[in-house]
Amino acid sequence: MRLAGKTAFVTAAGQGIGRAIAEAFAAEGAAVVATDLNAGLLEGLAAAESFALDATDKAALQGAIRAAAPDILANCAGFVHHGTIADASDEDFDFAVSLNMRSQFHAMQAALPAMVARGSGSIINISSAVGSIIAAPNRFIYGMSKAAVIGMTKSVALDHVTTGVRCNCICPGTVDSPSLHDRLRATGDYEAAHKAFVARQPMGRIGTPQEIAALAVYLASDESAFTTGQAHVIDGGWTVG
């Protein structure tokens, strides 16, 4: 049990990557506090505690994290805006800032004091291969927000490098999740869109949430004690070239 004795707080644990991470943390012995905007999605999760939480609600998010004082924080909440710069409204931009960026800022700000006092902690922010590592079509707002996650991760890592608290981010390529299927359907031609997503994958397939969760377990555990401030790309070779 690689996470025995540790408490892990997970946002957006209801489905996709967040759920796989919560499940993997629990399977490795962590007491998981699983949260999601939609409480119904948390049913059946082997969590120590689970409840509805909107990651954009600063007071609720910070209150829940301070109460849990987790050893591990996994910031998974995020939304994909589809479109170029021409399609981007100020409201779309602000929403991505609020959900993809500010929620991680607030969550880390609430988790850090207890971690620093304890002299240990691992923060895992979900970024994306799309952003500062590679661009993808119609991901102007999304890429902006996920690039910022890498910047926040590096800053927090550097400022806490002597405290025993580590902060890394995971940059997944295309991963099979409920919202991916929504995005494929939204194109109007699910089959063609799915084919195009797979075609850009050198391995000939998209990833699974469980493959991302395996990396999260490593980053959460003491096995990764020598890595901090890194953007860990896991993308089936998409960005290799």
Q: Do the bridges between strand 49-52 and strand 31-36 make them parallel or antiparallel, or are there none, so unpaired?
A: parallel
Q: Which of 27, 56, 116, 164 binds ligand NAD (CB under 6 A)?
A: 56
Report the alpha-carbon distance of residue 135 to residue 221 in Å, rounded: 31
Q: Does 12 bind ligand NAD (CB under 6 A)?
A: yes
Q: Taking each helix axis as running N to C, give the angle between helix 140-159 and helix 103-118, from 0 to 180 degrees, rounded to the nearest 10.
A: 20
Cα separation values, 77 from 17, 29, 191, Å: 9, 23, 27
| Active-site residue, from 9, 142, 197, 238 | 142
Residue of closest CB approach to ligand NAD: 78
Instruction: Tell me, by CB under 6 A, how many residues bind ligand NAD.
Output: 29
Distance in Å, CB of 80 to ligand NAD, minimum = 6
**Closest to ligand NAD by CB, 67 or 225:** 67
- Coil, strand, or helix at residue 71? coil
Provide the β-strand partners of residue 36: 52
Q: Which stretch binds ligand NAD (CB under 6 A): 64-72, 113-121, 159-167, 170-178?
A: 170-178
Q: Which of 1, 4, 29, 38 binds ligand NAD (CB under 6 A)?
A: 38
Q: Which stretch binds ligand NAD (CB under 6 A): 6-14, 133-141, 157-165, 224-232?
A: 6-14
Told to judge if 218 belongs to the known catalytic residues of this protein, a careful annotator would answer: no
Contact 64, 106 (CB under 8 A): no
| Amino acid sitting at position 97 | V
**Closest to ligand NAD by CB, 179 or 239:** 179
